[in-house]
Structure 1
Amino acid sequence: MVSLHATPTAKRGRVRALLLTVALASFSACYTPSERPIYLTDEQGREIVLHGVNISNAAKWDPLGLAWHTEADYERLGGWGFNAVRLLLFWSVLEPSQGAYDDAYLDAMEERLDWAANNGLMVILDFHQDLYGPAFTGDGAPAWATFDDGYEFTRVEPWWLNYLDPAVRAAFTHLYHDDWLTDAYADAWAHVAARLGSHPAVIGYDPMNEPYHANENLFTFEADVLLPFYQRVTEGIRSSDPDARIFFEPVPFPTSSGLPSGLPVFGDTNAVYTPHYYEPLVHEGSFYHQNAALVAAVIAHKAWEAEQHGVPFVLGEFGAHAGGVGHADYLRDLMTALDRYAAGWTIWSYDKGRAFALLDTNGDETDLLDAIVRPYPQRVAGEILRHRYFPAARILRVEYATVAGVDAPTEIFVPKARLYPRGFSVESSDPDGAWSFEFDADREVLRIWHDPAQAEHVVRVLPS
């Protein structure tokens, strides 16, 4: 593990999305962070900002639980400034029969971790599920771990309405409340951690993608059910990887639409808060309301929640339906909001030709990438104070404070070929001659050595 420390149906759906968008505005501005954000740090003490991607939706439909990516596709991520991957794994592929693990599957996952390490990518292992498992046309749990209480499942559209099906809800209820089944889930994680936890690319584990409340009381689920479930799964993971970092999520509905979580304080600082956010109208492929202040308020609240947990904030999933109006504007506003807290993120997803895909069917970039690829500080030799990128002017401003003993350079991704084809200049508030920089043109990474005699530093990157 990397050493880091801290149709009619559619129309109805759009109406619901609009109502939800209006409703969340009254909640999201209730709280804002009051303290300096907490960051992951590397072995040299530098604060880390993660920009990355989910790999991938295509893996859900592959019987092998993998996808089309090769090492060259992992290498491509660096050109977008990505330094992180949220890598999907599936319980049904790992343990198709109870107690019988498919280690060939983990061999394939290890190969992908090698690709990540070779390209400077940090990986979050995500036990992914949608609609509990394949039994309900989703992904996640194997057949032997699926108990529907005799309900007959009938698929409906859109896909996410299937979460309301009694059979799906029963399956989740059994997972949360049948001790032997919870233990089996934790044991599967322990097997993954034993095999992959020591890999240098791995920085942590996401115990369950979007844990659904099913038949539980939505208002008490996170405290009474989800938190104990997380604690048991964490025990399993740490039985194999004692230093494992847990990337935990709140209940997806309603938090993924921007409403607050009710999860009590996680109680474990070797963790990262990784909620999801899909603006309802954008998610449904409708339109972006162009209310940047609302988006900023949602992110501020999620940052506040991370503060309450005492852990860093990484937005684990977000995206934009490319068929909607104003989707690129939405992503730019979201990036600005996340930059305010130097929050990490992993976008959905590194796929081809789907609504949320970063690539078209030919594997060429979509305009989604133009909205999210920007300069940003990847590793900061000190305490990040403020960080902002101004897209129209293509100016990045990073402010940070000196921390004694942190001698490695600050590293800033600067997409020269994409944004600065005529070059860029670098300015520092440090005295002339007391600071220096170099630019790695292959990686498009700017390294800055600051003046340690200065308490604070302001660095600007701007077009030549």
Structure 2
Amino acid sequence: MRRALPGIAALLLALAPAAAADTPLRLGHDGRWLTDDQGRVVILHGINMVYKRPPYAPDAVGFGDDDAAFLASQGFNVVRLGVIYKAVEPQPGVYDDDYLARIRSTVDVLAAHGIVSLLDFHQDMYNERFQGEGWPDWAVMDDGLPAQPASGFPNNYLLMPALQHAFDHFFANDGGLQDSYAGAWAHVAARFRDVPGVLGYELLNEPWPGSTWQDCINPTGCPANDAKLEAFDKRVLAAIRGADPTGLVWHEPFVLFNQGAGTSVKALGDPNVGFSFHDYCLAAETTSPPTPDAGCAKADDLVFQNALDHVASTKEALLLTEFGATDAKSVLAPMVQRADRTMVSWVEWHYCGCDDPTTSGPGSKQAIVLDPAKPPAGDNLKTVTLDQLVRPYPQVVAGTPESWSYADGTFKARWTAGKGSSEIVLPARVYPSGYAAQVQGGMITSAKGDRLLRVRACAPEVAVTVTRTGKTSATCKPPPLAVNVTPQRVRAGKRVRLTISVRPAVKGAVVRVAGRRARTNATGVARLSVRFSHAGRVRVTVRSGSRTGRAFLRVSR
């Protein structure tokens, strides 16, 4: 969550060197890029949904199908879904599968709308004893120190020795705390390994280095503490691999990375690992109204560059999993523009206020929906925030992305072409009256006005420009659809069930036969029950956008 740790960002910047298709529901990666089963690059835009109060499940505050449908309608395709360790293992070695069933239900609801879920073992300030949440009570080891001074979030990290000692004991694996934590993750992974829509497992939200945190105010990281964090990552990764051999596992650097500190954590030695990072500009908190002009551009650029440098070294996938916690355009707009510029997928904080005890964006400040128990519409929406976050982007790229950008109704993207179809999300919030698309080096295969612009390359490089007005054009016209109908011979007067298949497979294509019509499913197949009254040759037509195709069948007496 957004935090204000005074003085740290300025020190880090002073020390830093001067040049420093519908969403697929199971993803892998190729270097920094997330990929689908066709090898296409997948870009994610989404929202965090973490409920930090008992019973720690999003459905407890009303998050459900209408919320998932709303997110999909805005073009979002990922939710970082909070899983609270205290709820997973309320007693040592005892797992609450009823709680995990509730999390599974939310994953299923999101997947039904084409949204993937990143399972996030979420914590802030360790446990309720320290005014936070995360670990169960039995996993608190603080040497009997008083939970004082109780200065709230995030100041307790800096000022409360008891909280710092709790992290010291955890990263030392005292009392087998890490072993228990790893066992809980293995249990979760065993339940979710075959669940469609799971993006992966995020090991620990915003780890804190404990009582030696000052050592980590360093642009190159803190080797001694990073070694402990790396050992923890590997321990939990190994436990997860015992349950799920291939699912993506995401790890975070220490939380001071959010303000420009480096990390010396190395590659974890596993091919399916991602790097999750956060970016909150401290300077923006010191001005009213918030503004990025007090050094935020330089600070945020440093955080992004550190993340890009890390995955360039480790070959891990990359995902910005927190930023925002505000409704200030002056903060949100530069961040999403920076993510576009660096081609980084992102997940903003947060869907709702939801009585969040550990955020500096309380109440409606951090929300896009005020109350998930009510329909996400009208006065229940934070339109000022949505207007910054909802934007066009290339959800799927068949090839290698080169650039994309959006400003004032104009979206531009370029990529080096590969096999398959690319998909650009064009939300109605941005293009309420439709759009015009100009495509160079490719053909448009989607229907006019579709909110998912599909482009197939016909040249080594593709460039797309989308505007609110103008004419749609493309370098190449799509080839006709190949249509097959079975059976091809039928008798007049007898009802017959026809199967019409379209290649390439097109979902939603309109099929017409003898005055009857149907639409193709996701595999490009439609079925019709028809009775032909006369003998002769009957035409079957198919249309999908500007693409057409036809076939014939023979009706005999």
TM-score (norm 1): 0.86
Q: Does 1:103 align with 2:97?
A: yes
Equivalences, count: 428
Q: Which of 143, 146, 152 is equivalent to 1:152? A: 146
Displacement after TM superposition at 1:396 (Å) = 1.3
Displacement after TM superposition at 1:260 (Å) = 2.5
Gaps in structure 1 of 5+ consecutive residues: 1-12
Contact 1:269 1:309 in 2 (8 A): no
Identity across the alignment (%):
32
Displacement after TM superposition at 1:330 (Å) = 2.2
1:446 alignment counterpart: 453
Aligned partners of 2:83, 2:249: CA distance in 1, in Å? 15
1:367 alignment counterpart: 384
Q: Does 1:163 align with 2:157?
A: yes
Is the partner of 1:299 in helix, strand or coil?
helix
Is the partner of 1:159 in helix, strand or coil?
coil
Aligned partners of 2:285, 2:382: CA distance in 1, in Å? 20
2:16 alignment counterpart: 27
1:321-336 correspondence to structure 2 within 5 Å: 321-322=326-327, 327-336=328-337
Contact 2:258 2:303 in 1 (8 A): no
Q: Does 1:413 align with 2:425?
A: yes
Once the two structures are superposed, residues 255-303 of structure 1 have per-residue CA deviations (whole angstroms, 9 ceiling, x without a partner) of 1123333323444341111111111133467421336752344423322
Displacement after TM superposition at 1:135 (Å) = 2.4
Is the partner of 1:215 in helix, strand or coil?
helix
Contact 1:193 1:240 in 2 (8 A): yes
Which 10-residue stretch deviates more, 164-173 or 354-363?
Answer: 354-363
Aligned partners of 1:71, 1:279: CA distance in 2, in Å? 33
1:269–1:71 distance in 2 versus 1, CA, 3 Å: same
Displacement after TM superposition at 1:50 (Å) = 0.8
Aligned partners of 2:337, 2:155: CA distance in 1, in Å? 32
1:272 alignment counterpart: 274
1:230 alignment counterpart: 233
Aligned partners of 1:449, 1:321: CA distance in 2, in Å? 38
Contact 2:394 2:422 in 1 (8 A): yes
Is the partner of 1:419 in helix, strand or coil?
coil
2:527 alignment counterpart: none
2:462 alignment counterpart: 457
Aligned partners of 2:10, 2:405: CA distance in 1, in Å? 26
Gaps in structure 2 of 5+ consecutive residues: 21-29, 217-221, 354-362, 372-378, 470-557
Contact 1:50 1:344 in 2 (8 A): yes
Kindly provide the amino acid, as one letter, of the partner of residue 381 in structure 1.
A
1:174–1:298 distance in 2 versus 1, CA, 3 Å: closer
Aligned partners of 2:175, 2:398: CA distance in 1, in Å? 46
Displacement after TM superposition at 1:121 (Å) = 0.7
Once the two structures are superposed, residues 16-73 of structure 1 have per-residue CA deviations (whole angstroms, 9 ceiling, x without a partner) of 35x7247526627532xxxx972011011110111111102xx102334434211111
1:181–1:292 distance in 2 versus 1, CA, 3 Å: closer
2:539 alignment counterpart: none
Query: How well do the aligned residues superpose, as a CA RMSD in angstroms?
Result: 2.4
Displacement after TM superposition at 1:243 (Å) = 0.6
Once the two structures are superposed, residues 374-422 of structure 1 have per-residue CA deviations (whole angstroms, 9 ceiling, x without a partner) of 1000011111112222x22x2111111122xx32x2111001x322223
Contact 2:130 2:150 in 1 (8 A): no
Is the partner of 2:283 in helix, strand or coil?
helix
1:236–1:182 distance in 2 versus 1, CA, 3 Å: same
Aligned partners of 1:227, 1:284: CA distance in 2, in Å? 33
Contact 2:131 2:153 in 1 (8 A): no
Is the partner of 1:54 in helix, strand or coil?
strand
Displacement after TM superposition at 1:220 (Å) = 2.3
Once the two structures are superposed, residues 212-258 of structure 1 have per-residue CA deviations (whole angstroms, 9 ceiling, x without a partner) of 100345322443200000000001111100112111111002x1123
Which 10-residue stretch deviates more, 266-275 or 285-294?
Answer: 285-294
Aligned partners of 1:375, 1:315: CA distance in 2, in Å? 18
Q: Which of 235, 243, 258 is equivalent to 1:240? A: 243
Is the partner of 2:55 in helix, strand or coil?
coil
Kindly provide the amino acid, as one letter, of the partner of residue 339 in structure 2.
L
Q: Which of 288, 299, 302 is equivalent to 2:304? A: 299
Which 10-residue stretch deviates more, 241-250 or 301-310?
Answer: 301-310
Of the two structures, which has the highest relative contact order with CA contacts closer than 8 Å and spacing of 6 or more? 1
Kindly provide the amino acid, as one letter, of the partner of residue 210 in structure 1.
E
* Greater helix share, structure number: 1
1:423–1:270 distance in 2 versus 1, CA, 3 Å: same
Aligned partners of 1:265, 1:28: CA distance in 2, in Å? 23
Q: Which of 245, 259, 262 is equivalent to 1:260? A: 262
Kindly provide the amino acid, as one letter, of the partner of residue 303 in structure 1.
L
Is the partner of 1:61 in helix, strand or coil?
coil
Which 10-residue stretch deviates more, 352-361 or 101-110?
Answer: 352-361
1:435 alignment counterpart: 443
Moved over 6 A (4+): none
Is the partner of 1:399 in helix, strand or coil?
strand
1:197 alignment counterpart: 193
Aligned partners of 1:252, 1:70: CA distance in 2, in Å? 30
Aligned partners of 1:136, 1:158: CA distance in 2, in Å? 8
1:358 alignment counterpart: 368
1:175 alignment counterpart: 170
Q: Which of 46, 53, 62 is equivalent to 2:54? A: 62
Displacement after TM superposition at 1:364 (Å) = 1.5
1:63-102 correspondence to structure 2 within 5 Å: 63-66=55-58, 67-68=60-61, 69-102=63-96
1:297–1:183 distance in 2 versus 1, CA, 3 Å: closer
1:206 alignment counterpart: 202
Contact 2:5 2:155 in 1 (8 A): no
